[in-house]
Amino acid sequence: MGSLTSPSDTVTASRKMTFDDLLIEAGGFGRFQVMVLLILCIPRLIVPLHFLQHVFISAVPQHHCAISTQRNPGNLSKEDLLFINIPQEPDGTFSSCKMYSQPQPHLILNRSQATINGSHVQSCNQGWEYDLSTFSSTTVTRWDLVCSRRGLSKALATLFFIGVTVGAIIFGDLSDRYGRRVMLLVSMLLAIVFGGMSAGSISYSMFAVCTALSGCTFSGLTINIISLSVEWVDVRHRTDAGIITGFCWSIGSSVLALLAYLLRDWRWLLVAITAPLVPAVISVWWVPESARWLLAKGRAKEAEAVLMQCAAANGCSLDAFRKNSESIQALAEAEPSSHTYSYIDLFRTPRLRRISVCCGLVW
């Protein structure tokens, strides 16, 4: 005589089902997960384009003080004109930030001779001339971010990553409140706006502000891409999802180098790395909200709907999956009443402290 299981035992067992069990019931890692990861690869490819853009848009070409026509005593060649107006460094190169207060034409005959006419070396007072053989224009050449202003060029990258840090805090909280998919779309739309404003900046101040805001939005973009990738994949395949996103970063970095080679003007390069966000927004529209997040918010019906969509795409029997409705409802009721975590919990146990510190050092 077989053992009998009471209805209450069945309910109790069903209530112990975890979200990962539900994912396995919906096909585990199937066509649905592959589709989600491939769609999310589109915006993920764009992220390194912006994180590494400063290497190219803020490149510092060779430069020297601009020489006015009044400082040319005759029909001199370019090299001779530099010799009589620009002092040389110990390695023989022309100074990038200094010029003679008066032209020194005698140096053409004897370039080792000292300056005369009481001339002394002074800072550039008429701007700079740049070697445009590599880049036709960068933020450095646009706003003369060299010599005493070179710190302003380095500040641009710093401002971007300050924005990334602030964005991680802001969008991390917002994605928990309003959903991963919604905040991913919001961050992408904002990234398009601030990317376009950066390309059209008419002043250094405007560009600096747009750069910081752009960093903030790309932080939100990154956080929500990773969240959706991980939360739609069962535990056994999360490493695979991480490897796929890692490939996207490598490919995106290579694409940036190619774009920088083809587009030597910083404004057009910014347009080129921002424009792909438009089709990315359209593609992400087809990615469903995280069922895990929906359950955490107690939205059982919506969670069941997207899990049914997942099961159908993975070729699972919908009739069989409908039997999990009670388990889904139980999870939705249990999650909102569970403990609310804070940043302090990241350091509560030795293992969590180790992981948190290592992640911080890596980033």
CATH number at residue 313: 1.20.1250.20
Domain that holds residue 223: 13-59+149-336
Do 187 and 330 belong together in one domain?
Answer: yes
Do 171 and 308 belong together in one domain?
Answer: yes
Do 17 and 103 belong together in one domain?
Answer: no
Do 40 and 98 belong together in one domain?
Answer: no
- Among the candidates 95, 130, 165, a domain finishes at 130
CA distance 308 to 322: 8
Residue 240 lies in a domain: yes
Residue 342 lies in a domain: no
Contacts of residues 175-179 at CB distance under 8 Å and 24 or more positions apart, as own/partner, are 175/220, 175/223, 175/224, 175/227, 176/293, 179/289, 179/290, 179/293, 179/294
Do 246 and 198 belong together in one domain?
Answer: yes
Do 51 and 111 belong together in one domain?
Answer: no
Do 81 and 215 belong together in one domain?
Answer: no
Residue 144 lies in a domain: no
Do 38 and 113 belong together in one domain?
Answer: no
Residue 291 lies in a domain: yes
Instruction: Render each residue's pLDDT in the chain as its tens digit; 363 residues.
Output: 444 443 334 434 444 677 878 888 888 888 999 999 999 999 999 999 999 999 999 999 999 898 877 666 667 777 778 888 888 888 778 888 988 888 777 777 765 555 545 468 888 888 899 999 999 999 999 999 999 899 999 999 999 999 999 999 999 889 989 999 999 999 999 999 999 999 999 999 999 999 999 999 999 999 999 999 988 888 888 888 888 888 898 999 999 999 999 999 999 999 999 999 999 999 998 999 998 898 888 888 888 888 888 888 888 877 767 777 777 777 766 665 556 667 788 888 889 889 888 888 876
CB of 260 within 8 A of CB of 52?
no
Residues whose CB falls within 8 Å of the CB of residue 24, separated by 6 or more in sequence, listed in order: 234
Residue 229 lies in a domain: yes
Residue 180 lies in a domain: yes
Can you give the pTM of this predicted structure? 0.84
Count of the separate structural domains present in the chain: 2
Closest CA to 48 of 207, 221, 171: 221
If you write DSSP's letter for every residue of 291-316 in order, what string do you get?
HHHHHHTT-HHHHHHHHHHHHHHTT-
Do 177 and 304 belong together in one domain?
Answer: yes
